[in-house]
Amino acid sequence: MFSIIDRYIIRKFLTTFLFMLGVIMILSVVFDVADKINEFVRLGATAHQIIFDHYVNFVILYANMFSPLIIFISVIWFTSKMAQNTEIIPIWNSGRSFGRFVRPYMIAATVLVIPALLFNHFLVPNANKVRLAFEEKYYWNNMYVEDYHAEFPGNQVVYFSSYSSDTRDASDFIVEDWDEEGNLESILKAKSARNKEGTKEWVLSNYYERVIEKDKDVISQGLKKDTTFQFSVDEMATRDNVAESMNYFEIKEFIAREKAKGSPRIPRYEIVQYERTALPFSTFILTIIGLAVASRKKRGGIGMNIAIGIFFAFGFIFAMQVTSVSAMNLGFPAYIAVWIPNLIFGTIAYFMYRRVQR
């Protein structure tokens, strides 16, 4: 059973969070509109598309992404007000331990963490599909890829020197087929190659093909060749944020395919995958730190507590960036990298909790 104090704290926790979330999302949308609206209008986006395809999904993404930090500031804010109004000391003087005082905070945090996990793995990726498709059409510049190289299943190696999403042409296109012993079986070269949109059918221009057989090589060449490969250009020329639009099952399958190709972007995609679980769990850690910071009245009042909270928030963000860069550039395992900030700040939270408890 919840006591009156439990219900009071949970209500304060959730209402403060929702208020701050609403304010921050409104400001985020205003700044984003000021930055992008001219481009949207210039490229012919309608008001309905701007509102429902972009900004509704924009709010879903960033509200969920930043909710742990907003929860952290919310805890500091309303707990500091309770401390300044001398509401916390009578609670402790009534014989309630600090551990018992923390319980409603953890309950409220759990109420927010469980939906966040589901949203991160399923709802947010689906919202991102719509948002990213909108931005691809009405905001982003032409995508350009250089010096692509990958190995597909079946010992098929693909190269091209450049690709433009504007023309969908890959220049200096080469496909090599190798056997299990590492011997070249065939090589296909083309001055340019165009993938028919939505298919795995390709049109090669100025092509040269050599099939290596035991007795002789079979060579053919010409101005145009229609053919089919096991891949489409959309699997090769992707933006860095492509994984953001994939749900739990899709991103696992996508990473497995990229590993089979030897893609250098695998750590980037794995970070997206693992952060979807690690970031919501940081809510519990940040809640304890926020409570420890704000539960005692300080000289400087709420402003001092907020300043301390912002210091911790920037420290957490900095730790996330450092570990992510380490995973992408130094070969550090992504599943460990995304949890290191939680481990560091979880340790800080533990010692702060013990200190306040005394």
Q: Tokens for 178?
A: 């190798």
pLDDT at 56: 96
Q: How many CA atoms lie within 13 A of 225 on its CB side?
A: 18
**Residue 151 and residue 133 share a domain:** no
Residue for token digits 């707990």?
79
Query: Please, are residues 324 and 337 in contact by the beta-carbon 8 Å criterion?
Result: yes
Q: Which residues pair with 218 in a beta bridge?
A: 211
pLDDT at 186: 93
257 part of a folded domain: no
pLDDT one-digit tens code per residue, 41-82: 998 999 999 999 999 999 999 999 999 999 999 999 999 999
Degrees, nearest 5: CA angle 326-330-335: 55
Q: Which residues 6+ apart lie within 8 Å of 135 measured at CB? A: 54
**Residue 347 and residue 321 share a domain:** yes
Domain boundary among 185, 220, 238: 238
Query: Please, are residues 332 and 326 in contact by the beta-carbon 8 Å criterion?
Result: yes
**Residue 151 and residue 126 share a domain:** no
CA 107, CA 101: separation in Å to the nearest integer? 11
CB atoms within 10 A of CB 217: 10
**Residue 217 and residue 92 share a domain:** no
**Residue 153 and residue 131 share a domain:** no
Q: How many CA atoms lie within 13 A of 322 on its CB side?
A: 9
Q: Tokens for 313?
A: 């928030």
pLDDT at 76: 94
CA 337, CA 339: separation in Å to the nearest integer? 6
**Residue 134 and residue 13 share a domain:** yes
Query: Please, are residues 251 and 273 in contact by the beta-carbon 8 Å criterion?
Result: yes
191 part of a folded domain: yes
- pTM for this entry: 0.83
pLDDT at 358: 61
**Residue 157 and residue 131 share a domain:** no
**Residue 200 and residue 87 share a domain:** no
pLDDT at 160: 93
pLDDT at 261: 79
pLDDT at 149: 86
**Residue 33 and residue 84 share a domain:** yes
**Residue 234 and residue 311 share a domain:** no
**Residue 285 and residue 217 share a domain:** no
CA 270, CA 333: separation in Å to the nearest integer? 9
pLDDT at 357: 64
List the chain residues with pLDDT less than 50. Answer: none
Total tally of structural domains belonging to the chain:
2
CA 204, CA 173: separation in Å to the nearest integer? 9
pLDDT at 1: 66
- Range of the structural domain that residue 230 is part of: 144-238
Short-list 238, 240, 253, 234, CA closest to 324: 240
